[in-house]
Structure 1
Amino acid sequence: MAAGLDLRRLQAAVLTVVLGGAGGALFAWLDLPAPWMSGALVATSIWAVAGKPLAVPDPLRGLTFVVLGASMGGALTPDALKQAAAWPISMAFLALSVAAVVAGCTLYFRRMAGWDMATALYASAPGALSAVIAMAETTTADMRKVAFAQGVRLFLLVAALPNLLHAAGLEPGVTPVPPEDGPWLGIALLLLASGAAGLVFEWLKVPGGLLLGAMGGSAALHLTGLSTAHIPALMLIPAFVVLGTTVGIRFEGTRFATLRESVIASLGGFAVGMAISVAFAVAAAAVTGEDTGKMVTAFAPGALETMTALGFALGYDPAFMSAHHLFRFTGLSIALPLSAHLLFSLTRGERERTDEIKQPGE
């Protein structure tokens, strides 16, 4: 019985990767930005909604984060780090943006979609998906609506953001893959060291630990001159495919009736949140002089690992991307439970006072 289950899981995993690779190849043939990630996402999400079994094994997902992190770290240069002087300003704009997104989307879900306060609040959180879901499960929030709104937001960001930037004339950069990748022994040692750093970050429970740890380990090796190896495209393309499929399979088991009920509300919430994020990103770009496309991608309200990797796939500074998305993730993880506790306490107190007023006349 166990062997049969393992075989089915293996078949589902192989199908998922093949399907994601086919979607990525199609998007690459169409010459779309970030094709391997967004193409894999679209292909697997369609298959998942159709009710077909899909799976991405945890070891494969972990290896993907190590490969991407090692590659991102190799792209860091001393010149890029010198530009960090402008980051505190953009992060201040990002903090204001996150607060405005949560407030605006919560108001939209409450007034326009009729969702209860708990569901609206957690559906509005721009990123930190795993933390948001874990927090929402301890409340009265409708988990299906929260998960669907968060999934739609992440899907649209990865599938549509590169093309929207392209259409707006904010041309993405070129993914920094050096023409010569160096000896394979050096690449293997780089991956081992990056993987070890990623495991340390995971042990320390750093958000996105495997990706950020691998990136930090690789950056340290390259900035100190201990390594000159770079991850080749032969390894990067499969990594982007696997990352895209991890997002797409989140739609597995979603019924069409549920899709019809929630799609308009979720799309509206995404539009509100994205409009606010873009407005703050454009303002931050104007103040700091940074590239507008890079700032929009850094402010995009998506998952930490996914959005950092998407920015890298578009050719933007990985240190800038990871710093901003980690800042957003950490801020949300700390501020959201405190805000929810205060908000729900005030709401509960207001209900109790209303009940006391009504009670004498009953």
Structure 2
Amino acid sequence: MRPFLTRFAPGKFPYRRLFLALAIGFIGGCIFFYFHLPLPWMLGALVACLFASLFNMPVAVPGIVRPPMLMLVGVVLGSGFTPTMAGSMIDWLPGLIVLIIFVVVTACCCYVYFRRAGGLDHWTAFFSGMPGGLVEMTALGEVYGANTRIIALVHSSRIMLVVLSLPFLLSFVGGQALTGTTRAGASILETPISADLWLFGTGICGMFLGRLLSLPSPFLMGPMLVSAAIHLTGVSEFHAPWEIIAFAQLVLGSALGCSFAGVKKSDILHILQLSVGSTIFLVAASTSCAMLVAHISGRPILSLLLAYSPGGLTETSLMALSLHVDVAFVATHHVLRVFFVAVSATFLARWLKRGRLAKTDA
């Protein structure tokens, strides 16, 4: 505990840059809210901090700030699982199979794109082309000698571009007007203390479980699994206040916008150019899959667009929560995508490395 607390010492922790980032993010959120733009506290903070980063303002959201926010989001996502939906999960199977096919096809296409259009080396293109798992792909890329900064920037750009464009795609394809006035959940003044105790207790237990099981994104998926188990079994029906959800969106949006801080503008523009091309392809492919499954299964197109979205698990699930879409359905698809990408990329990379070594020896 002491080494953890020492990281918050005034000389080590960038309090000024963090508070400036959150202040700029809050202003961006207020502007988005005033103009009734979608997801104001996430997208407004993201855009504002992105511009602050591009103009070299001293902003930063340290990585140590993200886990508590991910814990809260994980618990909130898990609360979307209810006992009544347990029997209907078998109906999700066809859509999940289509999702796996989507991941395989898009990963192959993105690899070729980054190799030929982007001129990236084999391993950097391989891990950059995987449609998911920013942290996992960056960590694996380091093991195989890839350029981890490019991998991180590509995945951050993909998530950012999807988060920025998806609300407007949902409005155009799904036919639902998205405004910044949507409120998810009751106010913190209306929820009982017992709900707050359930919220934080579930989150802490979930974090330990996520680390124990070595789950991808343990601070998000651990609390989500524990919360889902509690809600599916009917032990509790607690829900997080909307203020906590909005604050988590503010911090995570600011963190995504600040992820480009300290990077040369030329590098950012180069990666953004590459990411725009790959993101357009991914969004078009995911939209096509969603429309196909909607035609076959009759499920609402809005939930399918979110479920197949190539954005981040956290960001897309928060959209589903804010839009009152089936959070459990969306989160389950994204969890499967993250698991499948992480596992398949690990085994495929090992197989490819052995094949390359065998050719070298020959």
Partner of 2:72, secondary structure, is: helix
Report the Cα offset of residue 56 of structure 1: 2.7
Q: 1:63 aligns with which of 68, 79, 90?
A: 68
Structure 1 or 2, whichever has the larger Rg, is: 1
Q: Percent identity?
A: 28
Quick one: distance in 1 between partners of 2:177 and 2:94? 23
Output the amino acid matched with 1:135: L
1:142 pairs with 2:150: no
What is residue 72 of structure 1 aligned with on the other side?
77
The one-letter amino acid paired with 2:211 is W
The residue that corresponds to 2:122 in the other structure is: 117
Cα drift, residue 167 of structure 1: 2.8
Quote the Cα distance in structure 2 between the aligned partners of 1:11 and 1:281. Answer: 43
Q: Aligned in 2, Cα 1:4/1:241: closer, same or farther, shift over 3 Å? A: closer
Correspondence for 1:104: 109
Q: Quote how far apart the aligned CAs of 1:298 are.
A: 1.2
Partner of 1:334: 343
Q: Which of 96, 100, 108 is the equivalent residue of 1:95?
A: 100
Displacement of 1:129: 0.7
Pair 1:190 & 2:190 matched: no
SS at match of 1:168: helix
Shift of 1:98: 0.3
Q: Give 3-state SS (helix, strand or coil) of 2:11's partner.
A: helix
1:359 is matched with which residue?
none
Q: Which amino acid aligns with 1:166?
A: S
The answer to whether the Cα contact below 8 Å between 2:136 and 2:216 also exists between their aligned partners in 1 is no
1:180 Cα deviation from its structure 2 partner: 9.1
Partner of 1:54: 59
Give the letter for the 2:247 counterpart: P
Which residue is equivalent to 2:34?
A: 29
The answer to whether the 8 A contact 2:187-2:242 is kept is no
CA contact (8 A) 2:124 2:148 kept: yes
With structure 1 as the length reference, what TM-score do the two structures score?
0.87
What is the aligned partner in structure 1 of residue 4 from structure 2? none
- The answer for unaligned runs of 5 or more in structure 1 is 354-362
Q: In the alignment, is residue 202 of structure 1 matched against residue 207 of structure 2? A: no
* Counterpart AA for 1:191: L
Quote the offset at 1:336 in angstroms: 0.8
SS in structure 1 opposite 2:259? helix
Alpha-carbon distance in 1 for matches of 2:137, 2:127: 6
1:5 matched to 2:21? The reply is: no
Looking at structure 2, the residues matched to 144 and 160 of structure 1 have their Cα atoms a distance apart, in angstroms, of 24
TM-superposed deviation, 1:134: 0.7
Q: Cα RMSD over matched residues?
A: 2.6
Aligned with 2:333 (options 308, 319, 324)? 324
Cα distance, 1:24 vs structure 2 = 1.4
Gaps of 5+ in 2: 1-6
Per the TM alignment, residue 350 of structure 1 is displaced from its structure 2 partner at its CA by 5.6
Shift of 1:207: 2.0
Report the secondary structure of 2:46's partner residue.
helix
Q: Choose 53-62 or 118-127, whichever is displaced more.
A: 53-62
Q: In 2, distance between residues paired with 1:48 and 1:209?
A: 28
